[in-house]
Chains A and B, each alone.
Chain A
Amino acid sequence: MADRIEVGFKSGIRDALGEKTKKRIIDNLGLQVADVTTIEVYTVAGELTARELRRAAAGPLSDPVIQEFSINRAIAKKFDWLIEVGFRPGVTDNVGKTAREAIELLLGDKIGSRSISVHTSRQYLISGRITRADAGKIASGLLANDLIEHYHVVAADDFDFDAGMPAYVPQVAGKDEPQVARMDLTSLNAEALVKISQEKLLALNLEEMQAIARYYRDPAVIKARRKFGLDENTTDVELECLAQTWSEHCKHKIFNSRIEYTEGRDKREIDSLFKTYIKGSTAKIRKDKGRKDFCLSVFVDNAGIIKFNDDCNLVFKVETHNSPSALDPYGGALTGIVGVNRDPFGTGIGAKLIFNTDVFCFASPFHKKKLPPRILHPRRIYEGVREGVEHGGNKSGIPTINGSIVFDERYLGKPLVYCGTAGIIPARINGKPTHGKEIKPGDIIIMTGGRIGKDGIHGATFSSEELHEGSPVTAVQIGDPITQKKMTDFLLVARNRGLYRALTDNGAGGLSSSVGEMATYSGGCEIDLSLAPLKYAGLQPWEILVSEAQERMSLAVDPGKVDKFMALARKMGVEATVMGRFTGSGKFHVRYGEKTVACLDMDFLHNGVPQMKLKAKWKAPKNAEPTFAEPANLKKALSQMLARLNICSKESVVRQYDHEVQGGSVIKPMVGAQNDGPSDAGVVRPILESMEGVVVAHGICPRYSDIDTYHMTACAIDEAVRNAVAVGADLDHLAGLDNFCWCDPVQSDKTPDGEYKLAQLVRSNMAIYDYTTAYGVPCISGKDSMKNDYSIGRTKISVPPTLLYSVIGRIKDVRKSVTMDAKRPQDLIYILGETREELGGSEWFAQNNVIGNKVPQVDAKKAMKLYRALHKAIRAGLVASCHDCSDGGLGVALIETAFAGNLGMNIDLKDVPYRGKKRNDYVLFSETASRFVVTIHPKDQKRFEKCMAGNVMCEIGFVASDGLFQITGLSGKPVIKEKIGKLKDAWQTPLNF
C-alpha cells in the first residue's frame, strides 16, 4: 500500500519550471503548446496514517505561502495532456531520500518499527492542440529519459479527475540468496574465452582471457586456493574483479602498450607512451628544475600534488565522463563532477576542494539531420550536461571558475565531458607530511558515504568500449552532491583529528579498485562483502564488489582509532561501515560471510595483464587548399566569425554556475565594463587571509587534429600556458594535466584505420614531451579515454582526437593580475608575437568549409622568451589589458577586447608583423600560436617597450571613446567600421538560451 501526495502551485503563482518546459517544447521540438504547469508527486510507502500524511504534506513537502497539496486525490484540474515522469526501480532518487529523512524526523519516535520509503515523480500538465504522438514525443524526447525513467501519457478524457493517477512504487525486485558462479576457464579454447568476455561485458581481449586461464592452470596457485575452499574454477567475483582492474579505463593498456611506430622510412619501438613521453617529460623537467622543483606527488595517486607555498600544497585532477553522459546527459555529467571531486579529496591525506573546471565537446545544438539510433539530440545533451554540472558543482559549494565548450559534428556519437577539481591541503597535519599514503597490515578497511546499489555496474568496462547496441543501462548513475558534501565535511574533521591513516575514492571499478589499489600499500587485504550497506536487497557478491554507486570513500584506519572514527561519523550523520582489514598476505581476499568468494594474488591482479603490442603508421593527410577569395565585406565576415559556435559567448552557461562561492574570486569567467567579456583564465585566493592566488587555464584545439596531432597538442599546451600568462601567472610555477579523448586506435575490423589513429596518438605524445619540457610545465596527472566511438548498424562516428591540456599555477599577489577588457580611451594597442599564414584547421577556414594544411606551429623558444618578458611587464603594472589570440585569431581577440571594455578601437593591419600571403582576412583570422593583444596606458609605453625588447611585437592602434571598431586594411583603405554593440550582439546571440 502506498499513498500519493501531490503538490502544486496556488492559482496566481508563477510556475517557472512549467514556463521553462513550455519554452523548450516550442524551441527544441517545434510543437506549439499553449501552457505547461507542473505538479510534484511524492509516493509514500510505509503505512502512514491519514493524519501523518497530512502533517508531512503540510510540513516539509509543501510551501504554505504558494503551494497547495492533495492526498490520494488529483490536484490537476485542466489540461489536454498529462505526462507523469518518475524513476525506474533502483535509480537514485535524491529528492525521495530527502523527503523520507524529513518525514522520519517529523514523526520522531512515533514511527515505531515502520519502514518508510518515498518516491518522487513529476506531472506536466500540457494545454494545447497537440496529438497523442506529439505528447509522446514530448515525453520521450524531452521530459523523460527512457533509460532511467518511466512515464505515462494520459489524455484529459481518460483521466480520473477525482482519484488521479494510481500510486506506483518503483522497487527493485529482490533476488534469491547470494550466489557465486564458478566456471572452468582452464580448458576453454580461444573462441569460448572471447565469447565469455563479450557476453559478460568484461571488455577483455583474447590474450587477457588467456592470461587469466593460465593463472588458473598454475599448480602452485591451485594449491594455495584450496586452503580457502577454492579450486581451478574462476569465481564470478574474481572474473569481474579482474575485468575492472584490467580495464582500459583503469590500466591504460593502450598508453602502456609496446608500439611499433612507422613514419616514412623511420621506424621505432616505443615501450609505453605513458612511461616514455609523459612520465619521461615530467622526470626531465623535475631534474632540470633541481631545487626549484615544485612537484610533490605525480602519477601515483588519484591526483597530482604540487607546492603552493611553504604551508600549503595544491592538488589537481581532470577526468572525463563521456560514455555515461551520452546515455544520460544529466546523470552522467553530475556524476562526472562529483566523481572528480573525490579524486583530489582522496589524494594524499585528503584535500579541501577549492574550484572546479569544465570543458564540454558537443555537436551543434542546432543539429537538423536525422539522428542515428540511441543518440540523443545534441541540444538535449548540451542542456542535460550543463544542468548536471550545475547541480554537482553548485550544491557541493565549489566554484566553477574556468571552462569552455567546443563544437564539432563528430561529437554527435559521443559528447566529451571533462570535469576538473583542485584542492588545497596543509603541507603538514599533526606534524606529518600530507602528500603521501601509508597503510599498515592490520589497518581496518572502512567504507563511508553512500550505499551500494546496482548503479554503475560495469562503468569501467563500459567506458572501455564504444557506444553500442548492448551498452548497459546500469552503467548510468546519478550523483548526490549533498550526501557527498556531508561525507567530505565529516572526513575533513576526521583528517584534522588524525582519525584515519589513508583514504581513496570509490570510482571506476568500485570497491575492487579502491580497496585493491590501497592494498598495494600494505601488501594485501581481506574484506567481507556481506557487511556492505546496500540500497536494496538482492545484490550478488560480484555486484557489491564492482558497483560504482557514488559518494563513497574507502579508508584505512588504525584499529585503535576505529571507535572514535565511527562515533564521529554517527554524530555527523554519515554512514560508515567496517569492511575488513588490510594485510601483508599478498592476497586480494574477498569473503561473503565466512565463505571465500575470491582470492587472487595481488601481483597477478595488478601486474598480470599482458602488454599489448600495437602498430602505428603515420602518413600526413593532404587536405584540399582553399580557393575562396578574400571577401569584399570583412565586416560581415567578422560578424559571422563572432557568431560561430566555437567563438560566440558562453555566458548563459557560465552564469548558471556559481563561480564565487568560498569568497576568493579574483578573475571571474566574465569580466569587463558590463561583466560580459570572456576572460582567459580563472584566479582565486584559496586562503582568504592572504593575497596569494591560484591560476587555472586550459587549451584545446581538436580541429588541428585533421592535419597533425603533433601540432594540435603543441597548440593546446601553448594555449593553456599563454592563457595563464595572460592573467599574470608565474611561469616558473605552472603544472599541467593531460586528458586524452581519442577514438579507438587499435587496428581491427571495426577500426580499419587503427594504425593511423594510433600514429596520431603517438605524435600527440611526442609533442607533450617536446613542449612540456621546453616550457618547464610538467604533467602531474592526467587521464585517457580511448574509445570515443559510436558504432551501431553501419553508422560509425569517431570523435576527432582531442587533447585537453589544463594548467594550474600561482600568482604571488593577485592584485597584480590583469583582465582582458580594454580599460581607457587613448590606450595603445599592441600585438605581441608574429602572425603567420597559419589557417589550416582554423575557424575561418571552417567558416568557408575548408580544412587546409598549414596548421599553426609553435616555436617554443620564442614563445617562452615572449612570455617571460610579458610576465615582467605585468608584474611591473605596465599592462592595462591582455587577451590571448586563439580561435578566430587577431580579429576576434581585438573586438573582444574592445566590447568587453565598452570602448572602440582604431587598428591598422599594415602594422601587424605578418608573414604570408597578403590578405586582410588571413591577417585577421590566422590562428598562429603564442600571440596576445595588449593595451597600454600611454605613460607606460616606454617602460613597456623596454620590457618587451627583443620580441616580435608592434603598436597597431589605439582605444577609442567613440564606440566604433575601425580597421584599416593592408592597402591603407578602411575595411571594417562598425559599432561595437552590433558586433557584441552577433557574439552574444547564438547560445543565449
Chain B
Amino acid sequence: MANKVKAMVLTGNGTNCEMEMAHACNLAGADKVDIVHISDLLFGEKRLADYNFLNLPGGFLDGDDLGSAKAGANRFLHAPIAGANDMLIEELLGFINTGGLILGVCNGFQLMVKLGLLPALGGNFTKQSTTLTFNDSGRFEDRWVYLKANPQSPCVFTKGQDRVYYPVRHGEGKFIPESSAILEDMEKKNLVVFQYSDAEGSVTMDYPANPNGSTNAISGICNETGRLFGLMPHPEAFLHRTNHPRWTREDLPEEGEGLAIFKNAVRFIQGKKF
C-alpha cells in the first residue's frame, strides 16, 4: 500500500503564498494538507514529525528587513519550542533525517539557503554556503521566465521535466555561491536543478530572461539526496491554464505546468518506504 502523503504548508511572520501552495498539494493528491502557523510549531501544538512533505512558501519573512529570510532563519535557529527541551532547528533536522521532503519557493528557498538546508554539501544542513541577494536590476519584479531543467539532477521534484515557464516575483533572487569550489561541487553532483533560459531553452545570462543575474543562471537547487529543493520561480502560481500570461492566445492544457512538481513529490512519497 502506498504511503500516506502528509503535507504541511508553513506560514506566519510575513509568508503569503500558503493558500496556493496548499491548493497545489491538494490537487497533486496529498492525503492530508495542513496550513500550519509557525506559532503552532513553537507551542508544540503541531509537530513536523507528523508530516512527510514540508512546504516553505513565498512571502516576506519579517519583511526581509535584514536581507531576505535572514530574520526568519534566525528564528529557526534560535527559537525554542515551548514546554519542551527542543529547539525548532532540532525538530527540522530530525524531519530531514527521517527522509521528509522539503520544497522552498522564493522566500522559502531564501530561507533554506540561509539556514544551510541547501545545498548542504556533505550533509551539513546548518552551514550557509550560498546566498540569494539583490537582483542586478536593483528592483523587485514580477515576470514570467523559462527554466531549463537538469535531467541528471537527483531532484525528486523535477523528474521528467525539461523546460517550464513560471513567474518570478522577487527582489532578491540572485544566486551566489561562497566560492567557485562550492559551485563546482554543486555542478559535479548535479545539484543545479533549474537554470533561467530563453524561450528556445538555451541557458542565458541576459536580462530579462535571466531576471536577476544569478551565477550560471541558477534558479533552483537541491541537496544531494534530491529531497530538499528550492527555487525562486513560483510553480504554485501556475496550477491552471488561466494563470498563464498568454492563455487567451495559446492552446494550453487545463492543468498548469507548476503542478508537476507537487505531483512528483506526492508520487515519490507514495512509492517510498519510510
Residue ID in chain A nearest B14 by CB atoms: A482
Question: Does the CB pair B16–A485 fall under 8 Å?
Answer: yes
A693 and chain B: residue at smallest CB distance? B242
Contacts of B148 in A (CB 8 A): none
Tell me the chain A residues, 809-837 only, with Cβ under 8 Å from chain B: 814-815, 817-819, 821, 823
Chain A 478-502 interface mask (CB, 8 Å, partner B; 1/0): 0011100110010001000000000
Q: Indicate which residue in A102, A108, A397, A571 contacts B16 across the interface (CB closer than 8 Å).
A: A397
Q: How distant is the Cα of A776 from the Cα of B265 in the complex, in angstroms?
A: 50
Q: Give every chain A residue within 8 A of B37 (Cβ-Cβ).
A: 489, 493, 572
Whole-angstrom CA separation of A108 from B80 in the bound complex: 9
> 13 extra interchain contacts, Cβ-Cβ under 8 A, other than A102-B62, A397-B60?
A19-B138, A60-B70, A62-B67, A102-B71, A395-B60, A397-B15, A485-B13, A662-B19, A663-B19, A666-B242, A673-B249, A675-B144, A688-B23
In contact, A489 and B11 (Cβ under 8 angstroms): yes
CA distance A571 to B82 in the complex (A): 10
In the bound complex, do residue A95 and residue B65 qualify as a contact, i.e. CB atoms below 8 Å apart? Answer: yes
Q: Is A275 in the interface zone, CB < 8 Å from B?
A: no
Contact B140 A656 (CB under 8 A): yes
* A33 at the binding interface (Cβ < 8 Å): no
Rounded to whole Å, the gap between the CB of B200 and the closest CB of chain A is 15
Among the stretches B126-134, B153-161, B218-226, the one at the interface with A is B126-134
Contact with A along B164-196 (1 / 0, CB 8 A): 000101000000111000000000000000000
A66 touches B133 (CB 8 A): yes
**Chain A residues within an 8 Å CB radius of B66:** 60-61, 95, 98-99, 102
CA distance A13 to B130 in the complex (A): 13
Which residues of chain B come closer than 8 Å to A390, judged between CB atoms? 140
- Contact of B59 with A397 in the complex, beta carbons under 8 Å: yes
A599 to B136, CA, bound (A): 58
Residues A672 and B246 in contact in the complex (CB < 8 Å), given A99-B65, A489-B37, A572-B39: yes
User: Which chain A residues lie closer than 8 Å to B17 at the CB level?
Assistant: 397, 661-663
Decide if A17 touches B134 in the complex (CB within 8 Å).
yes
Binds A, one of B46-54, B96-104, B232-240, B266-274: B232-240
B-side contacts of A663, CB under 8 Å: 17, 19-20, 23, 236-237, 239, 243
Tell me the number of A-to-B contacts counted with CB atoms below 8 Å.
185
Pick 11 A–B contacts, CB within 8 A, sort by A. Answer: A16-B138, A63-B67, A65-B178, A106-B78, A394-B60, A397-B15, A397-B60, A572-B39, A662-B17, A663-B243, A675-B143
Check if B131 sits within 8 Å of A66, measured CB to CB.
yes
Find chain A residues with CB under 8 A from B86 CB: none
| Residues A396 and B16 in contact, CB atoms below 8 Å apart | yes
Does B65 contact A659, Cβ atoms closer than 8 Å? no
Contact residues in B for A396 (Cβ distance below 8 Å): 16
> In the complex, what's the smallest C-beta–C-beta distance from B16 to chain A, in angstroms?
2
Q: For residue A823, which residue of chain B has the nearest CB?
A: B249
How long is the Cα–Cα vector from A573 to B41 in the complex, in angstroms?
Answer: 13
For window 861-901 of A, CB contacts with B under 8 Å fall at 901
Interface residues of A (CB under 8 A from B): 13-14, 16-17, 19-20, 59-66, 94-95, 97-99, 101-102, 105-106, 108, 390, 394-397, 480-482, 485-486, 489, 493, 571-573, 655-666, 668, 670-673, 675, 685, 688-689, 814-815, 817-819, 821, 823, 901
Chain A nearest CB, measured from B121 CB (Å): 14
Judged by DSSP, the binding face of B is mixed
Does B152 reach chain A (CB closer than 8 Å)? no
Whether the Cβ atoms of B71 and A659 lie closer than 8 Å is: no
In the complex where A663-B239, A675-B245 touch, is A481 in contact with B63 (Cβ < 8 A)? yes
A65 to B174, CA, bound (A): 13
Q: What residue of chain B has the Cβ atom nearest to residue A394's Cβ?
A: B140
As a 0/1 sequence over residues 201 to 221 of chain B, the CB contacts with chain A under 8 angstroms (1 = contact) are: 000000000000100000000
Q: Is B139 an interface residue (CB 8 A)?
A: yes
Contact partners of B255 in chain A: CB under 8 A: none
Chain B residues near A13 (CB, 8 Å)? 133, 176
Choice from A59, A482, A493, A657 contacting B62 with Cβ under 8 Å: A482
Given A395-B60, A572-B12, A663-B23, the answer on whether A671 and B39 have CB atoms closer than 8 Å is: no
Contact with B139, one of A14, A62, A656, A815 (Cβ below 8 angstroms): A656
Q: Which of B11, B71, B138 contacts A98 (CB 8 A)?
A: B71
Interface residues of B (CB under 8 A from A): 11-17, 19-20, 23, 37, 39, 43, 58-60, 62-67, 70-71, 73-75, 77-80, 114, 128-131, 133-144, 167, 169, 176-178, 213, 234, 236-237, 239-240, 242-243, 245-246, 248-249
* CB neighbours of A481 from chain B (8 A): 60, 63
Provide the bound-state CA to CA distance between A13 and B237, in Å.
Answer: 31
Which chain B positions have C-beta within 8 A of A668?
A: 245
Instruction: Say whether A814 contacts B242, CB under 8 Å.
Output: yes
**Known: A95-B66, A668-B245, A688-B23. Is A489-B142 also a contact (CB below 8 A)?**
no
Task: Pick the contact of B14: A14, A485, A655 (CB < 8 A).
Answer: A485
Nearest chain B residue, comparing its CB with the CB of A668: B245
Q: B177: which A residues are within 8 A, CB to CB?
A: 65
Q: How far is the CA of A926 from the CA of B10 in the complex (A)?
A: 54
Give B187 Cβ to nearest chain A Cβ, in Å: 17
CB < 8 Å neighbour of A819 from B14, B74, B248: B248
Q: CA separation between A66 and B131, bound complex, in Å?
A: 8
Asked whether A486 lies within 8 Å of B138 as measured between CB atoms, the reply is no
A67 CB to nearest B CB, Å: 8
Q: How far is the CA of A102 from the CA of B79 in the complex (A)?
A: 10
A821 to B245, CA, bound (A): 12
Is the pair B14, A63 in contact by a Cβ cutoff of 8 Å? no
